[in-house]
A and B are shown apart, each in its own frame.
Chain A
């Protein structure tokens, strides 16, 4: 069964600096998708970025990039030029192609951006 591990319960970063949130995954499947979601204190789940297992290039979306290292089974989220509004919980998730299509989530990392 697939599993997502986020080892950082909390992270702090200074405004305007970059921060990396760690995510490792475990699956024996060759085809899968990796996602990051942001959950601010308001409780919504906001999609940030997606990486397919066969994508050769790392995904980027504005200030978000996904550092995908397939051999190490890691999919770290990099946020550049942190803003106060980036303070939130961040969840890494995985889905399997050809499987039940459900997302399996990690426990999340709480990011705090300091002014």
Chain B
């Protein structure tokens, strides 16, 4: 496809379960970003990759959150032992390369932890 895709679009899980959220960036885009957006707020940075290298994970809230991009394309954000406070929209974005290149966002995954 032409844009950033994310799956699943909606995920409902029970507290304590692990979830894996997938992002497929725009073809050829080097940089990939994960953000979390609470209702009524702007997105907040979680982590980002250049190719397969995780360059910054300062936004990951705790060690239950991890991300990988093993082949420099598709990325997975994993949340272990989910808690209700993890409920949010998780957004992925990609950009061609350089710092001021525009980040294009995917449709997001709405995560609900019961």
> CA A102 – CA B55 in complex, angstroms?
10
Give the contacts of A8-61 with B (CB-CB under 8 A).
Answer: 33, 35, 37, 43-47, 50, 52
A105 pairs with B58, CB closer than 8 A: no
Shortest CB distance A60–B (Å): 15
Q: List 18 A-B contacts (CB under 8 A).
A: A35-B103, A43-B108, A47-B104, A50-B100, A97-B100, A99-B99, A100-B45, A100-B55, A100-B58, A101-B31, A101-B33, A101-B48, A101-B55, A102-B33, A102-B48, A103-B93, A105-B42, A108-B41
A96 pairs with B102, CB closer than 8 A: no
A50 pairs with B102, CB closer than 8 A: yes
A104 at the interface (CB under 8 A from B): yes
Q: Report which residue of B93, B95, B99, B100 has the largest number of chain A beta carbons within 10 angstroms of its beta carbon.
A: B100
Query: B residues within 8 A CB of A62?
Result: none
B42 pairs with A91, CB closer than 8 A: yes
> CA A93 – CA B100 in complex, angstroms?
12
Shortest CB distance B50–A (Å): 8
